Structure 1
Amino acid sequence: MKKSIGVLLIVLVIVGSLVGCGSSDKGSEETFETFKSEEGKFSIDFPGKPEESVQSAMGLDMNIVALEDGDTAYTVLYSDYPEEIVKASKPEDMLAGGVQGQVASLGGEVVESKDITLDDYPGKHLVVETEKEGTKVNFNSKIFLVGNRLYQIQAINVDNENLDKFFDSFELVK
Structure 2
Amino acid sequence: MKEDITRYQIYLQLKRDLLHGRLYCDPNAAAQLGAYILQEELGDFNPEEHVGNYVSELKILLKQTTYIEEKMMEFHAKLMEQTPEQVETAFLRKAACLDTYGVDPQPVKDHAGNQMYLGINHTGILTFLGNRRTTRYLWKQVQNINYEGKMFIVHLVFYEDPRTKVSLENSF
For the superposition of Structure 1 and Structure 2, which TM-score range results when normalised by the shorter chain? under 0.3
Q: TM-score, normalising length from structure 2? A: 0.25
In terms of fraction of residues, the more helix-rich structure is 2
Point out which structure has higher relative CO (alpha carbons under 8 A, 6+ apart). 1
In terms of fraction of residues, the more strand-rich structure is 1
Q: TM-score, normalising length from structure 1? A: 0.25
